[in-house]
Amino acid sequence: MLTKSTPEALTVEQLLFQGQPCLKLQHACGDHVLVALHGAHVLSWVSAGQEQLYLSPKSTFDGHSAIRGGVPICFPQFNQRGPLPKHGFARNLRWHPYLHPYQQQQTHQLAYLEDEWTCLSLRIETSPETRSYWDQAFELILTVQLQPSTLQLKLSLRNAGTTALTFTGALHTYLRVDDIGATRLLGLEGQPVWDAVRDCHEYGPSTLYFEGEFDRVFEASAKPLQLLDGERRLQIEQSQSLAHTVVWNPGSVRCASLPDMTADGWKQMLCVEAAQVLTSIALAGGQTWQGWQRLRVL
């Protein structure tokens, strides 16, 4: 539910980062998030005075290319599993700030309060450019939501046409870690998983450790995951409307082949993605869908 707010409770700063227009949303507690208009790409989330996301120092910021790190939005296709460019087109196009009807009538501020969240929304919709990739009528909104120690990213899709559409995708979250060799991920025990590196199907162990290239698509767990990174603890949850959790680290060999990664970048990141990979979501004309990922520093 949208609620009234005082100006001092909501802070949005418009700025340039690496030459790209961005919005910085700050919570009253001091936590803040930086979002580029290009791709509605979350570049940074600082909580408890620490950066929680990984952004490659060799990322390309040209307003056209995908950015390496942060939280890219993969839509309406995951990876190369379809006819569209890799991971679709949403991460490569400019999004625009979106004002909900409440904001338009009451505040005209970019930020707003929803329940107990401090929020900011961006939107992309059907255009000649999107039609050149995907001949569908749609509206896609990313809502960035902050609470103390917590970041939630919510995607809302509306089929604006009369015919059904299908899609896959992900919130392709790059988490910062101090040392991938000492990092552990808990909570996927017993979940069916496809190991893309070895091309085999198995079940998740009680604890995931990372050595070499790691690329697995898990059936999402109903319970939260925990990332253990030295003294740091991060809880990771996702909506049931996203059926898969992708866990990825390129390892040293694969990382060396990525021009927008430093040679040792693989040691400092782990992707834990709320995703829809192995099956498509179908949405009839006029219908809506929502999916989210929630990160909380423990």
Q: Which active-site residues does the annotation give?
A: 172, 273
The Cα 165–Cα 59 span in angstroms is 32
E-strand spans in 251-287?
Answer: 269-283
User: 88 — alpha (psi -120 to 50), left (phi > 0) or beta?
Assistant: left
Amino acid at 183: T
Scanning 175-217, the segments in alpha helix (DSSP H) are: none
- Joined tokens for residue 122: 């961006």
The two counts, helices (H) then strands (E), for the chain are 3, 24
Q: What are phi and psi of 238, to 5 degrees?
A: -145, 160
The DSSP call for residue 83 is: S
The DSSP call for residue 267 is: G
E-strand spans in 48-137?
Answer: 50-51, 73-74, 96-97, 111-114, 117-125
- Joined tokens for residue 193: 């998983």
